[in-house]
Amino acid sequence: NTADKLGRGLLIVFEGLDRAGKSTQCARLVNDLEKRGEKVKHVRFPDRTTPIGKMIDNYLRGESQQEDHVIHLLFSANRWELAATIKAEIAAGTTVIVDRYYYSGCVYSTAKGNPDMDLAWCRHPDEGLPRPDICLFLDLSAAEAAKRGGWGEERYEKKEFQDRVRKLFGTMRESADKDDFVVIDAGKSEEEVADSIKSEVEKVAASLAASKKPLGRVQP
Ligand code: TMP
Ligand code: MG
């Protein structure tokens, strides 16, 4: 298995817009790797179970207001509070699968259009976090997303906002972090998407096993 060949677990991140199928595909990959005898831990951000996560949850459900910088830093702090655990799990040979990470953090905050907060500003607080070995970007066209039905009730789940998020993810996939991303066509069937993900994960596991690359950090 991966841990024996590489000497550590992998850090695998799923990203994409709301309704792209991240949760479904995360669960499938966890299942699949477990069946193959890998140790796997599934994490999602925001992690709404911690005190900081509860503040984020209230904000997303519209029950509280937060200044734009403040909520941005809370999302980042919510990742930092789990960073040491993630590193320890990976060092112990567990593959950690993460539903949303700092890429969402940058893109959703920037999409608000606050003139003091561009992508670069938004990325700073996350510098130094464990760097994903791969970020599987589940890509869904605006038209496909619309077919999947209405958004939920939470803040950000509005067409106009989601369109800005889609554009900014595009920018991010072409900038500092571009080597992290593999784009998966999320408009295909659940089965086909799962197969593409499996083959991308096998590819990255094999190439890392060959290079014995240690877990990285998000670079400035
Ligand atoms: P969820 O639907 O995956 O639970 O995420 C909740 C919302 O929070 C989603 O619209 C994306 C947004 N978000 C941020 O604004 N910043 C972040 O750092 C993260 C992880 C999510
Ligand atoms: Mg959501």
Query: Which class for 143: exposed (0-12), middle (13-18), buried (19 or more C-beta within 10 A)?
Result: exposed
Does residue 90 contact residue 2 with C-beta atoms inside 8 Å? no
pTM: 0.97
215 or 157, greater pLDDT: 215
In this structure, is residue 62 part of a structural domain?
Answer: yes
In this structure, is residue 100 part of a structural domain?
Answer: yes
pLDDT class of 123 with cuts at 50, 70, 90 = very high
- Residue 147: per-residue pLDDT: 81
Ligand 1 lined by 122 (C-beta under 6 Å): no
Provide the number of structural domains found in the chain. 1
Does residue 139 contact residue 185 with C-beta atoms inside 8 Å? yes
Strands 216-217 and 130-131: antiparallel
151 or 22, greater pLDDT: 22
Ligand 1 centre distance from Cα of residue 57 (Å)? 10
Ligand 1 lined by 108 (C-beta under 6 Å): yes
In this structure, is residue 218 part of a structural domain?
Answer: no
Q: Which atom of ligand 1 is nearest to the CA of 45?
A: 20
pLDDT in tens, 78-122: 999 999 999 999 999 999 999 999 999 999 999 999 999 999 999
pLDDT in tens, 44-85: 999 999 999 999 999 999 999 999 999 999 999 999 999 999
Please give the ipTM for the structure prediction: 0.98
In this structure, is residue 220 part of a structural domain?
Answer: no
Ligand 1 lined by 73 (C-beta under 6 Å): no
Mean pLDDT, the chain, rounded, equals 95
In this structure, is residue 219 part of a structural domain?
Answer: no
Sheet containing 95-99, strands listed edge to edge, beginning at the edge strand earlier in sequence: 40-44, 95-99, 11-16, 134-139, 181-185
Domain that holds residue 108: 2-212
Total count of residues recorded for the chain: 220
In this structure, is residue 217 part of a structural domain?
Answer: no
Does residue 72 contact residue 119 with C-beta atoms inside 8 Å? no
Question: Which ligand minimizes its atom distance to the CA of 22?
Answer: 1
Domain with residue 165: its CATH number is 3.40.50.300
Ligand 2 centre distance from Cα of residue 18 (Å)? 5
